[in-house]
Amino acid sequence: MLVISRKVNESLVIGDGIEVTVVEIRGDKVRLGIVAPRDVSVHRAEVAAALGLIPPGRAAAEDPCRALEREIAELTAQLQQHPEPPSELRTRLAAKRIELAALRQGRPPQL
């Protein structure tokens, strides 16, 4: 996944003729304006999944924070199963936590 930072009234262009502009940022909500050719359908991921345009699990799986939270939970469960967990497992868990913190702050992780 490509992560791009934009401020209000800044845009990004996808392919030929799709422009996405940040219209407003209010709290944890971002309003986007999308200009696309009429033959290109534009849907929120959960709507696209409900319409069968993308696989049902894909809408949630595209959120990198949720994916990392799931990985952290799995690693934590593995750690709890071992009386003396391997250091590699602890290192992976720490790296995932750092990556999640960086994503939540809107910056790339630096491991």
Hey, where are the domains in the chain? 62-106
State the residue for tokens 């999944």. Answer: 49
For residue 99, which of 65, 48, 57, 63 has the smallest C-alpha distance? 65
pLDDT at 58 (0 to 100): 63
Given this model, what pLDDT does residue 110 score? 58
- Digit-by-digit pLDDT tens for the chain (111 residues) are 778 889 999 999 998 889 999 999 988 889 999 999 998 889 888 887 788 887 766 665 456 777 788 889 989 988 888 878 788 888 989 998 988 888 888 766 555
SS3 category, 33: strand
Q: Say what the pLDDT of residue 65 is.
A: 78
Closest alpha carbon to 11 in 3, 2, 22: 22
Q: In terms of C-beta density within 10 A (0-12 exposed, 13-18 middle, 19 or more buried), how is residue 96 classed?
A: buried
